[in-house]
Structures are given as structure tokens and as C-alpha cells.
Structure 1
Amino acid sequence: MPPRPNLFDFHGVSMIHYFTDNWENIQNFKARPDDVLIATYPKAGTTWVSYILDLLYFSQPDRQKSTPIHERVPFLEIHIPNFSTGTDLADSLHTSPRLIKTHLPVQLVPKSFWEQKCRVVYVARNAKDNVVSYFHFDRMNFVHPEPGDWNSFLQRFMDGKMVFGSWYDHVTGWWERKQSHPKLHYMFFEDMVEDTGREIDKLCSFLGMTSTAEQKEKIRHLAQFDNMKKDDMANYSTVNIMDFKISPFMRKGKVGDWKNHFTITQNEQFDEDYKKKMKNTTLQFRTEV
């Protein structure tokens, strides 16, 4: 494996070269009006929602059994040597609609997605669970910077020195865009854990899809965390840039796991900082369900 990359400032956002090396092609990417963009901060439920959308649109068992999710739903900005770039994968999709995922903050998304008035599904996860999940992800994912210990990682998260920048800017930036872009569906990881079926119903109505109760129930069952975790086409076990011995890509999928990581002091400091950073937004999160 090449050495782990270093963070640098890119248009005001902390980034690594694997997500900026293909920048010209990303910015010039030609979206189509029926594309569906799945946008999230890393480790907020991206794969979960991608999987559900893929089942809603294309419930072809052979597709789900033979093609890994990262090929069915390409990661737009990724550019890793010896792998296809995200833009090439997206361009070569034959499906209609194309499902495309991104972790870019709203201001860096290619303009064509807005010009074509594409549907966008954004998934947000509460900061405490998100940072815990991100920590374990960075431990096992060699294309991300070295995470260091939990305490310094938590501080970096609060400072916004993470790949794809500040969580606070990301979730609020997309929340604000929702006010001006009617085709943006903003979802919460916590709501999905609480009642996946209800959130699938909301997705269907946003996408203008009619699915039978039976179809939805089947999708809800397939998209249960434990079923996806066992599915080699969904759990990223086919990707050799991650070490599953350190931590699985799909670890727990729970709400409230942060309580097993935060000390009392860390929690108090975090809450105080959070209040300051989130004081100007109407966006509200739950840290337990």
C-alpha cells in the first residue's frame, strides 16, 4: 500500500489528493435530468441509502448478487490508482436513472446537477455517532490519513480537519440548499434506524415511485444492517484498500454508540463547542432514539 495521504486545504475544505486529482473531470461532469445524487458526510449512512435506492429502482437479484454497490452507485470524486475513476464509472452506467454518490460539501458539487434539476437525497447523522464511526473507518481505510488516538481525532473533528471538511459546515450547508432546491430530500440516519419502512415510504413519495407494500417490506428486510453486513456486494469486503481485521466497513449501524467512546469531559467540551457552531441553524439532531 502507498503511504497514507496528508490533508490539505482545497477551496477552504480539508481534502486529500484521492478526491481532488480528477477535479477538472468532476467539475465538468455532465449530469442528466433523471440522475439521483446521494450526498452525505462520510459515515452517515451512504451505503445504506444507496442500497435502498438501488433496490427501489432496480430490484434485479442478479445485479444485486454480482455487482458490488460501489460499481452500481459510483463515488463521483474518487480517483485511486489502478481503479476506475468515479466520473468514468458514472459515465459508463447504463441504468436510468443513474445513482451517483458524493461526499462533497454542497458548494463543491458539479454545477450540472443543479442546472439539470436532479433529485438529491442527502443523509445526515448526529455528530457524536458520526465522529465515532469515522474514527473506526479511518483506522481501517488506508486511503485516508492516519487517525491518531481517539482524543486527538475528536479534536480534529471539532476543528473541521477531516477529509471532506467540517461536519458542521457540511450538514448545515446542505440543509440551507434544501430551502432553495425543491428536489432535495434531507434524511436522518436516526429516523432510518427508528423506522426504516417509514423512511422508505418517504423516499418513494419524493421519487414519485409507487411500490407495493410487499415490495417495500422485502426491501426493508434486505436493507437491515445485519443482512447488508453479511452481503459481500454491499459490505465493501471486495475492496482491498481497507483492513477488515482492524474494523469492519459496516461496524454497528446503531444510534448512541458514542456513549461507549466519549468520556464525560469530552462530552461536555463537545456539547459546548457544538452549541456555538450550530447556533445559527434550524437543523436539529437526535443522539438517541
Structure 2
Amino acid sequence: MDADTADVYREGKVVRCPDGNGDIITLKDTENINGIVPFDRIGEISRNFCKFPLRKDDIFLTAFVRSGTHVVWEITTMLTKNMTELTDLPKQESMIELMTDEALESLPSPRVLNNHFPNWLYPKEALTKNKFIHVIRNPKDALVSYYHMAQGLKNFNYSGTWSGYFEFVMARQNTGLKPIDYNDWPSNVLPWYNLSKTNQNIVNVFFEDLVENPVPQIKRIAEHIGFPKDQDTYEQIAKATSFKAVRQNKRVKGLNLQYNTPTSQPWKDGSPGIYRKGKVGDWKNHFTVAQNERFDALYRQWTLNTDICVRFEI
């Protein structure tokens, strides 16, 4: 096992990093995405994604991790299938990072394909011909959600505290070390946001807006992807895709813990699984005053040259 940076060790693609309190988080590195990612096939996929076999009606759903793609995927799938009830399939079966090319090819059109890739990784043809839904969530809530996911997934092998995890994230930001996952919030979110200003194929959906008033956001998505509905349908979809409804529905159907096979169980016993809270402002239950001040200063640096405006509470 070779030392990578101070207290960070590698063994092949496995990277073991201590958090701010010394608790170890286990991750996997890849050469093509500037970050450490939890999926086994990400290196292979990122190398070959420029050759991804596109269909003209493919719809791509993209976001920084833990930003609300599960609910938006349900909304988009219901719109394309003319449904007002949740599908029996889990989002993961349309997730590019998890599924094989053969599995993705077997999906019927129009495919709603989701991933967390930065925009530079996409085939140029996709960015000019296909529709994109870019979900943006405030980075404080996304970070808290990722912390709980890291605690819950077996492959992270992590049981650290919030304070340790926060220091781990801040240290990586401040020292220029590789971030945790899929670049980091600014280098993933901001290029998508900026590109959307000149590329009409991209629509930005803010998670906070969706939680506060879902019907107008569902209508925006529907019109963007070319599947407009009537007002009653939008309202039915909004009711069916509330976070509480999605979580309950998927748990009843045994899909909350499913990743890519019915028998896989990536979550630790007692974990809430992929659907935890889905709320705006849960960061206030985790950040101390001092942590919040430090993160606000970092956020101001991130957004110094952009007009993006995310809401940290509603």
C-alpha cells in the first residue's frame, strides 16, 4: 500500500482516507473524473462515454450527487410514459454509472438516463441534439445528504461523525487535493449552469423550487422535453412524486435498497437507504455556527464570477 498524500493510502484503485477525526472512509479513484468516486466501473465508463450509443430521443438527467435526481427521474419517467403513478422500476436501472451498455441498450425509448457527470465528459453530439435536465441543490444540504449516504453504504466502510466529515471535505477544498466525488459542487454544477445560458437543450431545475412548489417545475420539465400535459396531470404527478410518497412507494415495492439486481444489498442494516429526508434546510441540524461561517466563505469564492442563486432554506 503506497502513501498518496499525508495519511491517504492507495491499494490499486481503492483509496482510504482519514476524516478530520481520523475515521477512515474507503473510496475508489479514477483517472478521467477529477475526483474519488464510489462506483466500480466509473473509470471504464468515463473513458468510453464519448462513444456512448445515443438515441435522438434520449433524455439526460444530470446533477451533483445527492441533489434530488431520484424524484426528478420519477417525474420525467411518468411524463414520458403518460403515467400519473410511479413506475415499478428503480432509477438505478437507468443510471449510466451502474449499468452495463447492454442493459442500457435494452431500455425502451425514450430513455431517461441519469448520471452525475460533468458536462465536458458528454459526447458533443448529445449536447447539441438531446434534452438535458440539470438538477441543482444547495451545497450544504447536498453535503449533509452525502455524509449520511457515506455512513449508510457498505462500500464506504465509514462510521465517522459529521464534524470529522466536514473537516475532511473542507481540507480537500482548501489544499487542492482531489475532492470526494465527481469533481466538487462548483466544478460540476457551475459549468452546467453556465452552459445552459447558451444551450437551450439544458434546463436547470432547482431542488428547493421543486420542494416548495412542484407543479410549475413539473410543467417546465414537461415542456422542455416535449411531453406537455394538462394542469390536472401535473398536479397528480406532483402528489405522486412528493418525497414522502416516493420513499414509501419504493420501500413497499422493495426498491429502496436495490441498486442493480433484486438481490443486491449495498446498505448497512438500519440505514434509511437512498431516500432519507429530501428536505430543504436539513443542514441547519448539522452545521455549527463556526462551520456555517467557514462554508459560507468558501461558497462566496465558488460563486464570485457567476449569477447562480441557490436557496439554503425556504
Offset at residue 281 of structure 1 (A)? 1.0
* Residue 131 of structure 1 pairs with residue 154 of structure 2: no
Question: What pairs up with 1:1-289 in 2 under 5 angstroms?
Answer: 5-8=26-29, 10-11=31-32, 13-16=34-37, 18=40, 19-59=42-82, 64-65=87-88, 67-71=89-93, 74-78=94-98, 84-85=99-100, 87-94=101-108, 96-115=109-128, 117-144=129-156, 146=158, 148-158=160-170, 159=173, 161-232=179-250, 236-239=256-259, 240-243=265-268, 245-289=270-314
Give me the whole-angstrom Cα distance separating, in 1, the residues matched to 2:231 and 2:79: 12
Amino acid across the alignment from 2:77: D
Give the 3-state SS of the residue equivalent to 1:13 in structure 2: coil
Offset at residue 62 of structure 1 (A)? 9.2
Offset at residue 54 of structure 1 (A)? 0.7
Amino acid across the alignment from 1:89: A
Amino acid across the alignment from 1:219: I
CA contact (8 A) 1:29 1:112 kept: no
Offset at residue 253 of structure 1 (A)? 0.9
Deviates more, 1:47-56 or 1:246-255: 246-255
Give the 3-state SS of the residue equivalent to 1:241 in structure 2: coil
CA RMSD of aligned residues (A): 2.4
TM-score (norm 1): 0.87
Deviates more, 1:195-204 or 1:227-236: 227-236
Deviates more, 1:206-215 or 1:229-238: 229-238
Question: Residues 60 and 198 (structure 1 numbering): CA distance in 2 closer, same or farther, change over 3 Å?
Answer: closer
Give me the whole-angstrom Cα distance separating, in 2, the residues matched to 1:247 and 1:174: 30
* Structure 1 portions without partners, runs of 5+: 79-83
Offset at residue 176 of structure 1 (A)? 1.3
Question: Residues 11 and 210 (structure 1 numbering): CA distance in 2 closer, same or farther, change over 3 Å?
Answer: closer
Q: What whole-Å deviation, never above 9, does each CA across 1:64-95 have from its counterpart, x for those lacking one?
A: 23x33322xx11123xxxxx42x33221112x
Question: Residues 11 and 147 (structure 1 numbering): CA distance in 2 closer, same or farther, change over 3 Å?
Answer: farther
Offset at residue 11 of structure 1 (A)? 3.7
Give me the whole-angstrom Cα distance separating, in 2, the residues matched to 1:130 and 1:152: 17
CA contact (8 A) 1:41 1:164 kept: yes
CA contact (8 A) 2:69 2:135 kept: yes
* Structure 2 portions without partners, runs of 5+: 1-13, 15-24, 260-264
Count how many residue pairs are aligned between Structure 1 and Structure 2.
276
TM-score (norm 2): 0.80
Give me the whole-angstrom Cα distance separating, in 2, the residues matched to 1:59 and 1:207: 13
Give me the whole-angstrom Cα distance separating, in 2, the residues matched to 1:161 and 1:146: 17
Offset at residue 287 of structure 1 (A)? 0.4
Amino acid across the alignment from 1:153: Y
Structure with the largest fraction of strand: 2
Amino acid across the alignment from 2:120: Q
Question: Residues 62 and 182 (structure 1 numbering): CA distance in 2 closer, same or farther, change over 3 Å?
Answer: closer
Offset at residue 202 of structure 1 (A)? 1.2
Give the 3-state SS of the residue equivalent to 1:120 in structure 2: strand
User: Alignment identity in percent?
Assistant: 27
Offset at residue 145 of structure 1 (A)? 6.6
Give the 3-state SS of the residue equivalent to 1:10 in structure 2: coil
Q: What whole-Å deviation, never above 9, does each CA across 1:187-223 have from its counterpart, x for those lacking one?
A: 1000001101111111122123231222212111110
